[in-house]
Amino acid sequence: MGLGETFFHLVIALGLGLLVGLQREHAAARLGGIRTFPLVTLFGSLTALLAGAFGGWIIAAGLLSLTVVILIGRIGEVSGGSAEPGLTTEIAMLMMFGVGAFLFAGSREIAVALGSGVAILLHFKGTLHSIAARFGENDLKAIMQFALISLIILPVLPDRTYLPFDVINPRHIWLMVVLIVGINVSGFIAWKFFGEKTGVLLGGVLGGLISSTATTVSYARRAAGAPSIAHVSAVIILAASMILYLRVTVEVATVAPHFLPQAAPPLLLLALVLLVSALVLWFRNRGGSTSIPEPDNPSELRSAVLFALFYGLVLLAVAAVEHRFGNRGLLFVAALSGLTDVDAISLSISQMVRLDRISGSQGWRLIVIATLSNLLFKGGVVAVLGNRELVRRIAAPFITVFAVGLVLVLAWP
């Protein structure tokens, strides 16, 4: 590292230390402020520079020395009866020492991100405490179960294929479970903050993030019991169905990024048709709001396992049918599996495209067919569970989307 680059890194260390120190000074922290934190960060950088000549033990010795200084300062505060509750400032000092050292011993970009992150976490203390206070037992349970699914179960699953056609890979299947549960949990958390009493369009968006099919069932039943909310229910159902296409687009981008340029245009076009339909209905009765019913916990382990089994079966069925019957058989599988769950077939088709088992042109057509099948199912739900007014309001948009989808499947290049 040249002299100019060394000075540049020291300036970054000074700037990051000043940023965190300014926040601590504003918070009136007794142990460290706008002078202490820059010194701590530069101290970390200095130990990393010395470690290049004398060995890594210099960094360990510097960290130990800083820890002793912090303990002495803490003991002095306790003795004087002015000790602050918590250890936030002390941990922040140790973090900034590490950031200063990492600027020279590791990656500059990561060190800058860490230092900025420390400042942001410290600054938004009140907001973070307010968010945490709004979480109840069920919310924490959902988050912890998602951590179990993504951080504990996923890493221990074998990364190899089983059964014929080489498509059943436990880790890859569970990774798709993590993706879908993650999307659902994000909708669940959004409902926690916005959904109890929110605008109609936002209600549909939240419903689509959690489950467009479940949202359709819920609001069809509510409209049947209260015909006056048929208009609101129609907007929410259309908006939730629009979000379904955005979900599928995200799933495609995650599983097979090279497939996205082919799949995104038809999917987003269908989403646009539903969005325009929802906006037209919404503008006819603007200002309405609705209470969003509390969704079920989206990270239940039982539900995750069932989705994994269903996804694995769809994967196997797609591979087997494609091998035995070709594209015509895949059309049937896509239409059948898409009736109640578009996620599994979309992920399966994307996986097949990624493995070059089917072409991208075939893949997006199968996904669109699955979404149209799901649209038919939701239309049937509305007809059976809803009322005549709700059917009248969603019939034209659903028929339009279905017709556009068929035209895309048959005529899109």
Residue 288 pLDDT greater than 70, yes or no: no
Residues 184-202, mean pLDDT to the nearest whole number: 69
pLDDT above 90 coverage of the chain, percent? 23
Q: Is the model's pTM score more than 0.75?
A: no
The pLDDT, as a whole number, for residue 199 is 62
pLDDT band at 195 (very low <50, low <70, confident <90, very high): low
CA distances from 372 to 168, 198, 230 (A): 27, 29, 23
d(CA 66, CA 92) in angstroms, rounded, equals 12
pLDDT band at 146 (very low <50, low <70, confident <90, very high): confident
Number of other residues whose CB lies within 10 A of the CB of residue 276: 14
Residue 271 pLDDT greater than 90, yes or no: yes
Residues 130-139, mean pLDDT to the nearest whole number: 73
pLDDT above 70 coverage of the chain, percent? 91
d(CA 283, CA 156) in angstroms, rounded, equals 51
d(CA 204, CA 316) in angstroms, rounded, equals 33
The pLDDT, as a whole number, for residue 322 is 72
Residues 23-36, mean pLDDT to the nearest whole number: 80
Number of other residues whose CB lies within 10 A of the CB of residue 22: 16
Number of other residues whose CB lies within 10 A of the CB of residue 289: 12
The pLDDT, as a whole number, for residue 294 is 63
Q: How long a stretch of residues is the chain?
A: 413
Choose between 399 and 80: higher pLDDT. 399
First to last CA, the chain: 54
The pLDDT, as a whole number, for residue 398 is 94
Residues 293-305, mean pLDDT to the nearest whole number: 74
